[in-house]
Structure 1
Amino acid sequence: MEHAIKAERGQWYKRLDLNEAFEVVAIDRDEECIEIQYYSGEVEEIDEASWQLLELSPIAPPDNWSGAFGTDNRVEYEVQADSLESALNLVDSNRLD
């Protein structure tokens, strides 16, 4: 491939053959491999020679890139607490483990 795209940790790319977005999460120069994580959460290790053969396009991170990693800790509350104790109980009952 004439214009191979260089792998950069933290950069998002789109695999044109699979039509899937992924992020480069690690590059091991000694082992000559690149670890990627698809938006779906699947992790794959690709050797540098295989990377050069991929049809890639750099892309901006997806709007909700954290969705696949389960890091969205937002909790919406519809119930109004009428005292400090009931507010604390409400928070405790919705706390993520």
Structure 2
Amino acid sequence: MAQAIQAERGQWYKRLDLDESFEVVAIDRDEECIEIQYYNGEIEEIDEASWLLLEIAPIAPPDNWSGAFGTDNRVEFEPEADSLEAALNIMDANSY
């Protein structure tokens, strides 16, 4: 049975049908699509209608959230990052 769970950038979810963990890495409201990255590194783009049909549950990030990459890409945030959105914007500005 599908659940109407809103996609949130940076949130981890588990696909109950595949027993796979993934993170929402981008949401394009204009194109009505959601980009997800599975723990193993695979990236998939899902339209919003398909998202609503997924059997998913929000989960905490894995202990080793860098997964198959074997790297730790965590960024030290400046004190002015007073919200998750502000922190994600700083992270986007510092990515290569």
Same fold (TM over 0.5): yes
**2: distance between equivalents of 1:66 and 1:33?**
23
Deviations 1:32-84 (A, max 9, x none): 000000000000000000000000000000000113233249xxxxxxxxxxx
TM-score (ref. length: structure 2): 0.70
Rg: which structure is higher?
1
User: Residue type of the partner of 1:47?
Assistant: D
Count of residues in correspondence between the two structures:
73
Match of 2:19 in 1: 19
Structure 2: gaps spanning 5 or more residues:
74-96
Once the two structures are TM-superposed, the CA of residue 3 in structure 1 deviates from its matched residue by 4.5
Is structure 2 residue 21 aligned with structure 1 residue 7? no
**2: distance between equivalents of 1:58 and 1:35?**
16
Is structure 2 residue 39 aligned with structure 1 residue 39? yes
- DSSP-derived class of the 1:49 partner: helix
**1: distance between equivalents of 2:9 and 2:18?**
20
TM-score (ref. length: structure 1): 0.69
Structure 1: gaps spanning 5 or more residues:
74-97
User: Residue type of the partner of 2:4?
Assistant: A
- Equivalence map 1:1-97=2 (5 Å): 3-72=3-72
Sort the Cα spacing of 1:2 and 1:57 in 2 relative to 1 into closer, same or farther, 3 A: closer
**2: distance between equivalents of 1:21 and 1:15?**
6
Sort the Cα spacing of 1:3 and 1:67 in 2 relative to 1 into closer, same or farther, 3 A: closer
- DSSP-derived class of the 2:57 partner: strand
